[in-house]
């Protein structure tokens, strides 16, 4: 298979709910994550739900970084999809994990491309 891109899909449990409900902090976080991944930012859009929750999307020339939050459950879903060889999506992931401080994580990487296959990378239980 020729891998054209890496797609990291992460489920984060036990996150800091104050960050999960703050679109300004999340925008700064995803922009910084994109910068750490050496990606080129093309645009961004963040939406605050009422009464709580945020959906955010940073468009990068290599694809995207997105987050969807449920502060009432201290949960969020993150996608980091990058194409090409120059970006480092796991650096973006590491930054977001350090900021959101989840107690449990389920994460996988999918090689995107021709005849790509799902390949689980890590499943972590950080705190009990």
The catalytically annotated residue of 7, 15, 63, 64 is: 63
Evaluate whether 21 touches 71 at the Cβ level (below 8 Å).
Answer: yes
The catalytically annotated residue of 68, 103, 106, 116 is: 68
Distances (CA, A) of 128 to 15, 45, 53, 103, 125: 13, 34, 25, 7, 8
Tell me the H-state helices in the chain.
Answer: 17-20, 23-36, 89-100
Domains along the sequence of the chain with CATH: 12-77+86-103 (3.60.90.10)
- Exposure class string for 47-60: b at 16+ Cβ within 10 A, else e: ebeeeebbbbbbbb
- 109: closest CA among 3, 10, 15? 10
- Whether 66 is a known active-site residue: answer no
More confident call, 4 vs 57: 57
pLDDT of residue 117: 55
Segment (H or E) for 124: strand 118-125
Peptide bond into 51 cis (omega under 30): yes
* Residue 123 reports pLDDT greater than 70: no
- Whether 63 is a known active-site residue: answer yes
- Whether 7 is a known active-site residue: answer no
pLDDT, one tens digit per residue, over 57-110 is: 999 999 999 999 999 999 999 999 999 889 999 999 999 999 999 999 999 998
pLDDT, one tens digit per residue, over 25-53 is: 999 999 999 999 999 999 999 999 999 99
Half-sphere exposure of 94 (CA within 13 A, CB side): 7
């Amino acid at each position: 298979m020729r891998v054209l891109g890496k797609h990291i899909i992460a489920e984060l449990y036990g996150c800091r709910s104050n960050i999960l409900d703050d679109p300004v902090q999340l925008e700064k976080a995803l922009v910084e994550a994109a910068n750490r991944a050496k990606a080129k930012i093309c645009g961004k859009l963040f939406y605050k739900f009422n009464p709580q929750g945020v959906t955010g999307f940073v468009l990068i020339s290599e694809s995207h970084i997105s987050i969807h939050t449920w502060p009432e459950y201290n949960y969020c879903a993150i996608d980091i999809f990058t194409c090409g060889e120059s970006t480092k999506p796991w650096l973006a992931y590491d930054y977001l994990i350090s900021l959101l401080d989840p107690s449990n994580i389920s994460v996988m990487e999918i090689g995107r491309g021709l005849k790509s296959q799902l390949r689980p990378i890590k499943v972590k239980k950080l705190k009990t």
